[in-house]
Amino acid sequence: MPLILIGVTLIIFSMIWALGPDRLLASYIKSPEALKTPDAAERLIKKYGLDEPMPVQYLKWLGNILQGDFGYSMVGKKGVLPAMLERFPYTLELTIYAIIPVILVAIWLGVVSAVHQNKFIDQFIRVFALVGWSLPDFVFGLLLLLVFYSLLGWFPPGMVNTQFDLIMRSAEWNKITSMPTIDALLNGRFDIFVDALRHLILPVMTLAYLWWAYLLRITRSSMLEVLRKDYIRTARAKGVPENIVIQKHAKKNAMIPVLTVAGGSVIGLLGGTVFVETIFSRVGMGRFLADAATLLDYWSIIGGALFFSFIMIVGNLVVDVSYALVDPRIRLE
Amino acid sequence: MKKILLVTLALLVSLFAFASDPNTLVNLTIGEPETLDGMHSYDTASGEVIENLYDNLIQYNGQSVTEFLPMLSTEVPSVDNGLVVEEDGALKYIFPIREGVKFHSGNILTPADVEYSFERYILGDPAGKAHWMIIEALTSSAFYTVEDWFADYAGMAYSDAVNADRNPISDEAKAKLVSFYEEVIDPRIEVVDNTVVFTLDGPFGAFLNIVCHFGSWGAIVDSKLAMERGDWDGKADGWWKWHDLEADEYAFHDFGGGSGPYKLVEWDRAQQKVVLERFDDYWAGPAAIKNVVIWGVDEFSTRKSMFEAGDADIAYFDPVYLDQALALEAQGKAEVTTGYPVSSITSLHFNWLIAEGSEYLGSGKLDGNGIPREFFSDIHVRRAFAFCYDGITFIDEVINGLGKLVPTDLPEGYLGFDETLPLPEFNLARAAAEFKQAWGGEVWNKGFKLQILYNTGNNSRQTVAEMLSYFVSSINPKFKVEPLGVQWPTYLSAQNNGFLPMFIIGWVADYPDPHNFISTYYASFGTYAGRQGQLFREWAIENVDDEIVAAIKATDSAERIKLYKSVQEKAIEFTLGIPLYMPVGLHVESPQVDGWYPQTARSGYYYYHLSKSE
């Protein structure tokens, strides 16, 4: 794992370094006023060692990483690591709430679609999936915002309403997980919990619809393949009820490829979703990394890549382990 | 199952409606502060928070940027009240400090806090930040950085005196560093009884503007609290350990240390929110609104929806969305103010000697496929390009009328602004006549090719580039001006290295004095001089530098106006650039908000002036 992480950072570091000191300087210059003093550019280049050879800069950075210093994040306005740790709970919360409908509904729809292959319900679900797959998330998100907030006033953007937000920043509030819904329950504030849920509904709906499309298609094709197997035919020939054939014999075996994709979707969600976070004014890793890339905030970009690589590696490990639970033929050695 | 879903939905929906709270004001904006410490603050988002958390010595009188009122100083120094005194050519400004003022920490403000604040800023002086202003003012433009000031005093470069670990390189270097504070910095800002005395090397017309409220570089900090939080200890021995640190290494980066009308509750960098709470012990009386939430919501649709739904009281509307703001006003959901001047100018300037190695001048020769490096040193070329800018159409069509044409790079309302000077003229016939004279007629006969750059995403710059390309090419098919969009880092880098044949750039005032614009654009030592090339610098030294320096040192307004007028007349005569437009402001608030008025020196909102009805 360390080798992969070093490889990832080395590649990104080289690409950023190749821009040269003059371009890297832009991450410290937000406006021309910052160059008012005659030698401001030279001072900044020297201060941040932008003109040093790439191996020197990389080894310095690596040395700092080993001491827990990931550099200063221009986007986070604090150290890169604290900035990411501050945002991760929000992404985790959104992932937790989104993944339940994403997986359950997608699998359910995929199974229904496969079982009713080429019938109206199958066609309907496939069109539904196709629309979700084709629709850009910012368009769907904005549509939801328009209908459910601007027109109906039901589900606002943000994390919680302003009054609750002020309570959550007061001295009496016990910030435990930084996840509003969970902290609300731990603080015994069911009203804030409900409000936080209300703010989660549209982002979850947006994410869910987009991921359903993908997961549903995998489930459907996997189910169709399994339903053609001999042992399914045998089960049916023996008179096993159709419900048990589907649920017990077919569905479980069809889940192996689905699990890979579902695992990937969890990893993807943990990496954050830029547009959903931006449209619904939510905090998260996706927006952090997108802002870092826009501002050429290279310490944040590299820190984010490291963090995301770590998530990918751990996530894939978890998926591999879970294979063994689903398929007894697979054993971990 | 269906019943559970319906009940949950009903519960969620029933809880949503919260009446607009008159004690809480929500401002939806774009961007977020870089810091809450005046040490690193050089952006409007940081400035907005700091001006609410901290007081300065003096403040502006309403909308004026030339009339001052007392703030932490009980009087505004002037020659008439005897608080501006000349001694041996030096000018002393005496500020009597208000007694009984409390910081948010409960500490009482003293003159020593004022001295500490300014000395801390000067010694800290992070690269690329704002403290060149006070250094320039104190030294009569002799220095802009404390490192240069030290080098002049000590006879050694700062980098030769202090190593990378922030330790003096030698005993001699340490002695110089200590005495630099004791002999140079400390005497400049001294406590005398209950006053603080600033000593300037000579007159500097913009000094009061620099220390005035809304300038975060003049915010007075709680020195006791700063030291408790590990900031500079106020001693001569060791000041260099706090010089040029990162933003988060200073005491008040994310912590309130002022005496202003609002206290910091939290700066939530993840949620892009700054939450402020009224300071009930504020010396001028508590603010009307108890809680303020400044919330960075980058997506316009979201911002507008929240504002429209009544979940926000103020929202940032880009000029391109003026129609939508006016539509909300027509529905009684908003009050829109527009047309007020903003301290900013956007201009196009020419590079009289493009740096070697530029990839934007084609063949590098006047052969129809490029331009020579000194192409724009010919006045006829500059004039011809200037006649190709259709400013009226640009302002009407591109920025929705939220801008004004001005004669030079000096905003309207500033000292020296002269409306009798001619505005940029769109005249293709005159442009053709100038092109025919350029380079002894060679330009017209051979044609040329060059690239005009803009940073992608900046629609205004892109449109100007495309407009010039279209009109210049329409005059003569041999003229080829190619607009080229590049990323901001490339744009900045190419400008700084003098590679661009011409560049479009804006300037937002640091302080509302003409010096801040005139010197920036026109002086040989100005911020934009380097990108206009060595030939421009030589011209500026010969033609305008003396007048610009004399103007900032003059104490008589009439004299300053005369000098600035002369510089502007030369800028027009020699077509140093094209003043593209001066933006005008757009403010959108809910009808419940009262008390706002435009003030060009202010960053964002000063919530102390605002109130909110039910």
Among candidate residues B132, B175, B166, B179, the one with its CA nearest the CA of residue B240: B166
Reported ipTM: 0.75
Beta strands, E only, B521-612: 577-589, 593-594, 611-612
For residue B198, pLDDT beyond 70: yes
Q: Which long-range contacts (CB under 8 A, 24 or more apart) does A12-19 make?
A: A12/A301, A12/A302, A12/A305, A13/A54, A13/A57, A13/A58, A13/A61, A13/A302, A14/A54, A16/A296, A16/A298, A16/A301, A16/A302, A17/A54, A17/A57, A17/A58, A19/A296, A19/B489
Domain-embedded: residue A128: yes
Q: Where residue B447 falls among pLDDT bands split at 50, 70, 90?
A: very high
Q: pLDDT value at position A3?
A: 79
Residues B501/B452, Cβ–Cβ less than 8 Å:
yes
For residue B2, pLDDT beyond 60: no
Q: Which domain holds residue A50?
A: 2-69
Token pair 């210093």 in the structure block, residue: A69
Q: DSSP H helical segments within B418-458, as ranges? A: 428-437, 442-446
On the CB side of B602, CA atoms within 13 Å amount to 21
Q: What is the mean pLDDT of residues A14-25?
A: 78
> pTM of the entire structure?
0.84
Domain-embedded: residue A114: yes
* Residue B528 touches chain A, beta carbons under 8 Å: yes
B427 by Cβ neighbours in 10 Å (0-12 / 13-18 / 19+) ranks as middle
- What the block records as the tokens of B302 is 């979201």
Q: pLDDT value at position B56?
A: 98
B527 chain-A contacts, CB cut-off 8 A: 32-33, 35-36
- Which of A74, A150, A162 to mutate to test binding with chain B, by most B CBs within 10 Å of its CB? A162
A104 by Cβ neighbours in 10 Å (0-12 / 13-18 / 19+) ranks as exposed
Are A157 and B270 a contacting pair at CB < 8 A?
Answer: no
- What the block records as the tokens of B210 is 């620099």
User: Is the same domain home to A42 and A92?
Assistant: no
A283 chain-B contacts, CB cut-off 8 A: 270-272
- Which tens digit of pLDDT belongs to each residue from B475-497? 999 999 999 988 777 787 788 78
Are B42 and A34 a contacting pair at CB < 8 A?
Answer: yes
Q: Residue B128: which of A44, A72, A146 has the nearest Cβ?
A: A44
The conformation of residue B375, written as its DSSP 8-state character, comes to G
Give how far the C-alpha of residue B15 lies from the chain's centroid of Cα atoms, to the nearest Å. Answer: 43
Q: What is the largest CA-CA distance in chain B?
A: 89
Contacts A–B by Cβ distance under 8 A: 179
The conformation of residue B576, written as its DSSP 8-state character, comes to -
Separation between Cα atoms, residue A156 and residue A145, nearest integer Å? 8
- What the block records as the tokens of B391 is 């400013």
Residues B467/B394, Cβ–Cβ less than 8 Å:
yes
B510 chain-A contacts, CB cut-off 8 A: 33, 36
A153 chain-B contacts, CB cut-off 8 A: 16-17, 309
Are B305 and A72 a contacting pair at CB < 8 A?
Answer: no
Q: What is the mean pLDDT of residues B155-179?
A: 94
Domain-embedded: residue A146: yes
Are B489 and A26 a contacting pair at CB < 8 A?
Answer: yes
Which residues, in sequence order, are bridge partners of residue B587? B337
Q: pLDDT value at position A42?
A: 77
Q: Where residue A329 falls among pLDDT bands split at 50, 70, 90?
A: low
User: Is the same domain home to A17 and A134?
Assistant: no
- Which tens digit of pLDDT belongs to each residue from B106-147? 999 999 999 999 999 999 999 888 999 999 999 998 999 999
Write out residues 110-139 of B within 8 Å (CB-CB) of A: 127-130, 132
Residues A112/A125, Cβ–Cβ less than 8 Å:
yes
Q: pLDDT value at position B173?
A: 96
Write out residues 190-229 of B within 8 Å (CB-CB) of A: none
Measured CA to CA in angstroms, residue B147 lies from A251, B129, B161 at distances of 72, 13, 10
Q: pLDDT value at position A260?
A: 77
Average the pLDDT over each of A155-159, A272-276, B7-11, B400-404 and give the range with the smallest value: B7-11
Separation between Cα atoms, residue A287 and residue A305, nearest integer Å? 14
Q: Which residue has the higher pLDDT, A200 or A273?
A: A200
Q: Residue A194: which of B11, B18, B510 has the nearest Cβ?
A: B11
Give how far the C-alpha of residue B428 lies from the chain's centroid of Cα atoms, to the nearest Å. Answer: 35
Domain boundary, last residue among A16, A39, A69: A69
Q: What is the mean pLDDT of chain B?
A: 92
- Which tens digit of pLDDT belongs to each residue from A26-84? 767 666 666 666 677 777 787 778 888 888 888 888 888 888 888 888 888 888 999 99
- Which of A37, A48, A287 to mutate to test binding with chain B, by most B CBs within 10 Å of its CB? A37
Q: What is the mean pLDDT of chain A?
A: 84
Q: Which residue has the higher pLDDT, B6 or A247?
A: A247
Write out residues 269-328 of A within 8 Å (CB-CB) of B: 278-281, 283, 296
What is the DSSP code string of B201-261? SS--TTHHHHHBTT-GGG----HHHHHHTT---S-STTGGGGTT--GGGSTTSSS----SS
- What the block records as the tokens of B578 is 């094209």
- Residue in chain B lying closest to A22 (CA): B493
Q: Residue A279: which of B42, B302, B510 has the nearest Cβ?
A: B302
* Residue B290 touches chain A, beta carbons under 8 Å: no
Phi and psi torsions of A230, nearest 5°: -65, -40
Q: What is the mean pLDDT of residues A90-110?
A: 88
Q: pLDDT value at position A38?
A: 65
* Residue A15 touches chain B, beta carbons under 8 Å: no
The conformation of residue B43, written as its DSSP 8-state character, comes to S
User: Is the same domain home to A234 and A314?
Assistant: yes
Q: pLDDT value at position B1?
A: 47
B127 chain-A contacts, CB cut-off 8 A: 37, 40, 43-44, 47
- Residue in chain B lying closest to A78 (CA): B248
User: Is the same domain home to A65 and A90?
Assistant: no
What is the DSSP code string of A244-302? HIIIIIIHHHHHHHHHHHHHHHHHHHHT--HHHHHHTT---HHHHHHHHHHTT-HHHHH
Domains and CATH numbers, chain B: 21-53+261-334+590-614 (3.40.190.10), 55-249 (3.90.76.10), 344-584 (3.10.105.10)
Phi and psi torsions of B457, nearest 5°: 100, -20
Domain boundary, last residue among A42, A69, A96: A69
Closest-CA distance of chain B to residue A86, Å: 7
Q: What is the mean pLDDT of residues B173-194?
A: 97
Which residues, in sequence order, are bridge partners of residue B583? B403
* Residue A23 touches chain B, beta carbons under 8 Å: yes
Closest-CA distance of chain A to residue B305, Å: 6
B281 by Cβ neighbours in 10 Å (0-12 / 13-18 / 19+) ranks as middle
Q: Where residue B17 falls among pLDDT bands split at 50, 70, 90?
A: very low
Separation between Cα atoms, residue A115 and residue B190, nearest integer Å? 86
Q: What is the mean pLDDT of residues A187-215?
A: 90
The total number of residues written for chain B in this structure: 614
Separation between Cα atoms, residue B610 and residue B614, nearest integer Å? 14
User: Is the same domain home to A223 and A288?
Assistant: yes
For residue A258, pLDDT beyond 90: no
* Residue A153 touches chain B, beta carbons under 8 Å: yes
User: Is the same domain home to A145 and A227?
Assistant: yes
- Residue in chain B lying closest to A74 (CA): B34
Phi-psi region of B557 (alpha: psi -120 to 50; beta: other; left: phi over 0): alpha
Q: Residue A28: which of B128, B132, B159 has the nearest Cβ?
A: B128
User: Is the same domain home to A111 and A244?
Assistant: yes
Query: What percentage of chain A has pLDDT greater than the value 70?
Result: 93
With b for 16 or more beta-carbon neighbours within 10 A and e for fewer, the A65-87 pattern comes to beeeebbbbbbbbbbbbebbebb
Residues B579/B566, Cβ–Cβ less than 8 Å:
no
Closest-CA distance of chain A to residue B421, Å: 27
Q: pLDDT value at position A251?
A: 79
Domain boundary, last residue among A69, A90, A117: A69
Are B490 and A159 a contacting pair at CB < 8 A?
Answer: no
- Which of A16, A17, A30, A43 to mutate to test binding with chain B, by most B CBs within 10 Å of its CB? A43
A141 chain-B contacts, CB cut-off 8 A: none
- Which tens digit of pLDDT belongs to each residue from B300-339? 889 999 999 999 999 999 888 899 999 999 999 999 999 8
Q: Which long-range contacts (CB under 8 A, 24 or more apart) does A115-124 make?
A: A115/A223, A115/A227, A115/A246, A117/A224
Among candidate residues B575, B605, B580, the one with its CA nearest the CA of residue B403: B580
User: Is the same domain home to A89 and A31?
Assistant: no
Q: What is the mean pLDDT of residues A8-34?
A: 75
Residues B289/B610, Cβ–Cβ less than 8 Å:
yes
Domain-embedded: residue A49: yes
Q: Residue A53 contacts by C-beta under 8 Å, 6 or more apart in sequence?
A: none
User: Is the same domain home to A64 and A93?
Assistant: no
- Which of A28, A166, A273 to mutate to test binding with chain B, by most B CBs within 10 Å of its CB? A166
Are B490 and A195 a contacting pair at CB < 8 A?
Answer: no
* Residue A82 touches chain B, beta carbons under 8 Å: no
User: Is the same domain home to A24 and A124?
Assistant: no
Q: Where residue A195 falls among pLDDT bands split at 50, 70, 90?
A: very high
H or E element, residue B295: strand B291-296
Separation between Cα atoms, residue B263 and residue B292, nearest integer Å? 10
Are B248 and A72 a contacting pair at CB < 8 A?
Answer: yes
Q: What is the mean pLDDT of residues A186-204?
A: 94
Q: pLDDT value at position B149?
A: 96
Question: Which CATH number is A236's domain given?
Answer: 1.10.3720.10
Among candidate residues B111, B126, B127, B130, the one with its CA nearest the CA of residue B250: B126
- Residue in chain A lying closest to B164 (CA): A47
Query: What percentage of chain B has pLDDT greater than the value 90?
Result: 78
Separation between Cα atoms, residue A5 and residue A312, nearest integer Å? 11
User: Is the same domain home to A259 and A229?
Assistant: yes
Q: Residue B12: which of A27, A83, A198 has the nearest Cβ?
A: A198
Q: Residue A22: which of B24, B145, B496 has the nearest Cβ?
A: B496
3 state DSSP class of B310: coil
What is the DSSP code string of A16-79? HHTT-HHHHGGGG-SSGGGG-STTHHHHHHHHTTTTS-HHHHHHHHHHHHHTT---EETTTTEE
Write out residues 42-101 of B within 8 Å (CB-CB) of A: 42-43
User: Is the same domain home to A104 and A16?
Assistant: no
Q: pLDDT value at position B568?
A: 97
Separation between Cα atoms, residue B339 and residue B342, nearest integer Å? 9
Separation between Cα atoms, residue A184 and residue A178, nearest integer Å? 10
Q: Residue B493: which of A22, A163, A194 has the nearest Cβ?
A: A22
Residues B26/A162, Cβ–Cβ less than 8 Å:
yes
Closest-CA distance of chain A to residue B611, Å: 18
- Residue in chain B lying closest to A178 (CA): B270
Number of domains in chain A: 2
